[in-house]
Amino acid sequence: MSKNKPHNHNGDHYHDHSHDAHRGNIWERVAELFHMGGHTHSHAELAADQAFLDNREGIRTVWLAIAALTITSILQIIIVMWSGSVALFADTVHNIGDGLNSVPLLIAFYLAGRAATRRYSYGFGKAEDIAGIFIVLSIFFSAVVIFWESYQKLLNPEPLANLGWIAVAALVGFLGNEAVALLQIRVGRKIGSAALVADGFHARTDGLTSLAVLLAAAGSWLGYPMIDPIIGILIGVAILFITRDAAVAVWYRLMDAVDPGLLSRAEEVIRQQEGVEALRRLRMRWIGHCLHAEVTIAVDPLLTTVQNHQIAEKVRHELFHQIPNMREILVHIDPWEEKPESAHQLTIHHESVPRLLE
């Protein structure tokens, strides 16, 4: 018999669904002021409510990123007009083009907010992962372009003109892109969106590109134009590492992978619930930035249907509270027996995944 564990609504690393927790975010306060969203704090609607809030925060973050990158590009264009630098103009156009890569992610978040249909019965959350593929390809393409341009400059090194303006524009590009990267990575990790984190890494690659221009301007000012392509190659290598990390994260999502530590935490929560005799199976997967779980537990075979239902609800209740980003939980009840397979003689030969965890 497992031990009963009191509810923990204030854990340091888990969701707090209290009213004050919702009010702690300034965006939610604004929404309440204008009666937007219409929150309800009943347990029946907490998961859907939080999913809505996370999706809205993702949309807001992408719009803020697009706005910040637009302002950065406008400032760079103004500097280009003053300086007349063709090289700087090319770098600015490159940054504008990369900023447009946030559009697929924005579309994905809007799709994720749509209700499920009979054809897409799990909703449209996977659109985020598809957008992540395009973002990873774009990061890799940036590395290829930097390697090519650096190779050309190694063959034909030329001193840069308008060094002062180039340095100013490069600094603006670096600061603008890094600010966007910090925002997107922070929010992406908060709401569990691998695609948003990847887009943040993409903004960071653009910031590194601008930083390379700044260092190249300094090298040219010192009389060493060869510094430009050398730094370009080094930053290209750094971008390849960023590409690898982003690709691994998106691959995990596409393959329904979860952090094993998260699975272990969920197993611990389930086993501690009163009435749970054994945990037979637990599977978890991401759909966009939302976690879904399938749980099979064994209970006393003499319990009534109502009692079984109450145990399942306790399991779901604790998982919603203890596991971040949990949005949907399906609990299957088995009668506890020494040989679990005896309760599934009719269907066990259809099972592709072993039922037993231990």
Q: What is the pLDDT of residue 273?
A: 94
**Segment among 104-113, 180-189, 222-231 with least mean pLDDT:** 222-231
The whole-number average pLDDT for the span 207-233 is: 78
- State the Cα angle at 302 between 300 and 303, rounded to 5°: 75
Q: What is the pLDDT of residue 219?
A: 77
Picking from 110, 232, 97, the residue whose alpha carbon sits closest to that of residue 160 is 232
More confident residue, 243 or 149: 243
**Residue 196 near residue 184, CB atoms below 8 Å:** yes
pLDDT tens column, 246-272: 899 889 989 999 999 999 999 999 999
**Segment among 11-25, 187-201, 237-251, 287-301 with least mean pLDDT:** 11-25
The whole-number average pLDDT for the span 202-206 is: 83
Q: What is the pLDDT of residue 15?
A: 41
More confident residue, 47 or 58: 58
Q: What is the pLDDT of residue 5?
A: 42
**Segment among 111-125, 235-249, 338-352 with least mean pLDDT:** 338-352
The whole-number average pLDDT for the span 330-339 is: 87
Query: Would you place residue 349 in the very low, low, confident or very high pLDDT band (cuts 50, 70, 90)?
Result: low
Q: What is the pLDDT of residue 23?
A: 41
Multiple choice CATH, 42-254, 1.20.1740.10, 2.130.10.10, 2.60.120.620, 1.20.1510.10: 1.20.1510.10
DSSP string computed for 217-262: HHHHHTT-TTHHHHHHHHHHHHHHHHHHHHHHHHHHHHTT---HHH
Q: Is the pLDDT of residue 207 over 50?
A: yes
Every domain of the chain and the residues it spans: 42-254, 260-350
Query: Would you place residue 3 in the very low, low, confident or very high pLDDT band (cuts 50, 70, 90)?
Result: very low
Q: Is the pLDDT of residue 356 over 50?
A: no
Q: What is the pLDDT of residue 35?
A: 37
Q: Is the pLDDT of residue 46 over 60?
A: no
Dmax of the chain from CA atoms? Answer: 86
Q: Report strand pairing: 326-335 vs 278-287.
A: unpaired
**Residue 235 near residue 117, CB atoms below 8 Å:** no
Please tell me the number of Cα atoms within 13 Å of 64 on its side-chain side.
Answer: 15
- State the Cα angle at 245 between 12 and 148, rounded to 5°: 150
What is the residue-averaged pLDDT of the chain? 78
**Residue 96 near residue 129, CB atoms below 8 Å:** no
Instruction: Tell the CATH topology of 260-350.
Output: Alpha-Beta Plaits (3.30.70)
CA distances from residue 116 to 10, 59, 112, 126 in whole angstroms, order as listed: 32, 19, 9, 12
**Segment among 74-88, 101-115, 174-188 with least mean pLDDT:** 74-88
**Segment among 144-148, 174-178, 326-330 with least mean pLDDT:** 144-148
Dist CA 313 CA 108 (whole Å): 32
Query: Would you place residue 292 in the very low, low, confident or very high pLDDT band (cuts 50, 70, 90)?
Result: very high
pLDDT tens column, 94-123: 667 667 778 888 888 888 888 889 999 888
Same fold yes or no, 42-254 and 260-350? no
The whole-number average pLDDT for the span 301-318 is: 94
More confident residue, 21 or 346: 346
